[in-house]
Every structure is written in C-alpha cells, then in structure tokens.
Amino acid sequence: MQPFSPLDYQGKGTRLVHWKPQQNGGELALSAPWSEIPTLFSRLATQAVKVRAFTLVPEEGQLRLNLQLETDRAH
C-alpha cells in the first residue's frame, strides 16, 4: 500500500476541489471527466485509505466526486 496524499489527485483533467482532513480520514472532493472516474477509484485502491461513501453529480461539464475516506489502519 502507498501512503495517501490528496495532492496525488490533481492533474490529467482532474482538479482537487478540497480536502477536509478528519481524525480517521477525511473528505476529498474532485472535479473530473467521466473517463477519469474509474482510474481514480483504481488509484484509491492502492493507497492506505478506504472509501466509506461517495457521491457523483454533474457540475459545469464535469463530474463532482465527493468521497468520505477512512484511514486503512491495517496497512
């Protein structure tokens, strides 16, 4: 497992909207085209976080992906 960094999700058509750290994880918000969404989830699967919940909504020609992340303490 790789360490998680919200900055890893900036670039290639994806924009980091915000990162709100919390005690055991945080909320990550991204703006991305549909074609990048599967790649984002694949990348998250290699990092030391778990996705607790997510929402995906259209926003200004892109998609807004909000993720509730939890620190994966097993790794």
Q: Does residue 3 belong to any structural domain of this protein?
A: no
Tokens 């909207």 appear where?
17
Structure tokens at 3: 């360490």
Structural domain count, the chain: 1
Structure tokens at 62: 């892109």
4-43: pLDDT as tens digits: 999 999 988 899 999 999 999 999 999 999 999 999 999 9
pLDDT on residue 36: 95
pLDDT on residue 43: 93
Count of CB atoms within 10 A of residue 23's CB? 6
Q: Does residue 47 belong to any structural domain of this protein?
A: yes
Q: Does residue 43 belong to any structural domain of this protein?
A: yes
Tokens 């790794």 appear where?
75
37-59: b (≥16 Cβ within 10 Å) or e? beebeeebeebebeeeeeeeeee
41-72: pLDDT as tens digits: 999 999 999 999 999 999 989 999 999 999 98
pLDDT on residue 73: 74
Domain extent at residue 39: 18-71
| pTM of the full structure | 0.89
Q: Does residue 45 belong to any structural domain of this protein?
A: yes
